[in-house]
């Protein structure tokens, strides 16, 4: 069984007639121009001629990238089978069918799917739309946890009860969402340390023979979020932790590296290549904020509120009562985002607002139901000292539930809100 590393969270498992690629993000940015690839991909689109299967872990654009998928030659797409978890909205499956992939398989949880007689995949959904995959061959088992938040020993044991011990564990090693404001470097260092603890839990419970750290080979590439690069643990530190503290073989793969599972690999050479990429970031030109007209922003704001209400008509009054104070940095102006009236100017000190961001970033949040989730990942905003960030997150939680096709998208924060929601939900069922 051979592994070829493509980039970030993408690698190819080659076993006999099967060449299965995971989560191909090959080029460009992700999360509204918030993330860029640390290293250059060495896998041209023409190489998809040899790919038989694609497995997507989840819908995030650093795993499922429509711009990249559309560049795969059409003739090759027709021959590729797409494997994806069974979901309520079926968006990923329908998109792949629309753009001409040959066969789409929606994987049922806890149900192994036979790719070939001696190659199976077990894919289970995890939190917030994610999923993990266990690849089972007659040469061994590979567990791909990608972005699954396995951050306690109990959570890791829950997965181990399903997968058993594995030969290779692929696991994320870096933070993948906003941690602190610009000056909160120590918070980001602590978040990086917490990732090490996650790997320890996973190693203790799942007992892999080899650990491959991956899915964190990115940098924050915009002038609004470059501060997030300060506090990241580089891959060399991850290698030292796994090999010296966990006493576990660690394989570090650079784009283009090939590794026969069970053989030795020169991880130090791969680490040096990544170190060169880290150092080169000092000369990278960051992406710049684009101007957005205020009239367009207000229009999109009203459309966003309408989406929330039209998808949750039973909770119209609850949504209409919601609000958040927003400071738009490029307009140097405070606004109120209301569940009744959309976005409107107010007089308020910037420090008292709930969030500070550019008009361009806010526009993305209004245009797409996943926009506020994206914002929390790309970190293109600041949290003012006297604000309440949960106010804006509540809008985002509702939108995210709608985006995933989940019912009852209204998300409550307090115990009493949850009780009120439960009562209302039961009454609605009774009188429906």
Going residue by residue through the chain (432 aa), what tens digit of pLDDT does each one get? 999 999 999 999 999 999 999 999 999 999 999 999 999 999 999 999 999 999 999 999 999 999 999 999 999 999 999 999 999 899 999 999 999 999 999 999 999 999 999 999 999 999 889 999 999 999 999 999 999 999 999 999 999 999 999 999 999 999 999 999 999 999 999 999 999 999 999 999 999 999 999 999 999 999 999 999 999 999 999 999 999 999 999 999 999 999 999 999 999 999 999 999 999 999 999 999 999 999 999 999 999 999 999 998 988 999 999 999 999 999 999 999 999 999 999 999 999 999 999 999 999 999 999 999 999 999 999 999 999 999 999 999 999 989 988 765 444 444 445 455 455 545 554 544
What kind and span of H or E run contains 114? strand 113-116
Q: Choose among 375, 334, 332, 373: nearest CA to 354.
A: 334
- CATH fold for the domain made of 294-431: Nonspecific Lipid-transfer Protein; Chain A (3.30.1050)
pTM tops 0.85, yes or no: yes
Contacts of 227 by beta carbon, 8 Å cutoff, 6+ apart: 181, 182, 220, 379
The sign of the dihedral angle between the CA atoms of 339, 343, 345, 350 is positive
Class of domain 2-283: alpha beta
**226-256 tens-digit pLDDT:** 999 999 999 999 999 999 999 999 999 999 9
Sheet strands side by side (includes 210-214): 113-116, 119-125, 131-137, 140-144, 168-172, 210-214
Q: Choose among 92, 118, 117, 119: nearest CA to 105.
A: 92
DSSP state of 215: S
Matching fold, domains 2-283 and 294-431: no
CB 272 within 8 A of CB 215: no
Per-domain boundaries in the chain: 2-283, 294-431
């Amino acid at each position: 069984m051979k592994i070829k590393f493509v980039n970030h969270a993408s690698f190819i498992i080659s076993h006999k007639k099967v060449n299965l690629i995971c989560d191909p993000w090959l080029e460009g940015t992700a999360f509204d121009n918030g993330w860029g690839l640390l290293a250059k991909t060495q896998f041209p689109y023409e190489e998809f001629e040899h790919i038989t299967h694609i497995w997507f872990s989840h819908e995030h654009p650093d795993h499922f990238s429509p711009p990249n998928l559309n560049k795969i030659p059409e003739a090759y797409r027709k021959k590729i089978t797409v494997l994806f978890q069974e979901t309520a909205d079926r968006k990923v499956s329908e998109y792949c069918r629309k753009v001409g992939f040959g066969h789409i398989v929606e994987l049922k949880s806890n149900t192994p799917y036979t790719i070939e007689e001696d190659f199976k995949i077990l894919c289970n959904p995890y939190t917030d739309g994610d999923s993990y995959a266990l690849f089972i061959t007659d040469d061994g088992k590979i567990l791909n946890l990608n972005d699954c938040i396995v951050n306690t020993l109990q959570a890791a044991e829950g997965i181990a009860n399903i997968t058993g011990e594995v030969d290779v564990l692929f696991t994320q090693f870096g933070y993948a969402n906003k941690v602190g404001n610009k000056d909160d470097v120590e918070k980001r260092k602590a978040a990086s340390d917490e990732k090490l603890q996650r790997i320890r839990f996973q190693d203790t419970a799942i007992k892999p023979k080899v650990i491959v750290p991956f899915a964190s080979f990115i940098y924050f590439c915009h002038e609004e979020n470059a501060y997030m690069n300060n506090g990241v643990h580089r891959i060399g530190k991850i290698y030292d932790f796994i090999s010296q503290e966990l006493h576990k073989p660690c394989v570090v793969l650079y784009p283009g590296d090939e590794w026969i599972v069970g053989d030795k690999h020169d991880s130090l050479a791969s680490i040096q290549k990544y170190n060169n990429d880290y150092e080169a970031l000092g000369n990278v030109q960051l992406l710049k904020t684009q101007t957005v007209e205020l009239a367009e922003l207000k229009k999109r704001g009203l459309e966003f509120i309408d989406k929330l209400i039209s998808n949750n008509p039973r909770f119209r009054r609850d949504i209409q009562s919601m609000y958040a104070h927003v400071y738009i940095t490029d307009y140097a102006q405070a606004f109120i985002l209301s569940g009744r009236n959309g976005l409107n100017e107010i007089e308020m000190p910037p420090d008292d607002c709930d969030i500070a961001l550019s008009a361009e970033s806010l526009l993305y949040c209004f245009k797409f139901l996943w926009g506020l989730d994206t914002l929390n990942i790309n970190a293109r905003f600041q949290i003012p000292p006297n604000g309440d960030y949960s106010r804006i997150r509540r809008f985002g939680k509702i939108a995210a539930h709608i985006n995933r096709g989940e019912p009852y998208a209204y998300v409550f924060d307090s115990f009493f809100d949850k009780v009120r929601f439960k009562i209302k939900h039961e009454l609605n069922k009774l009188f429906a």
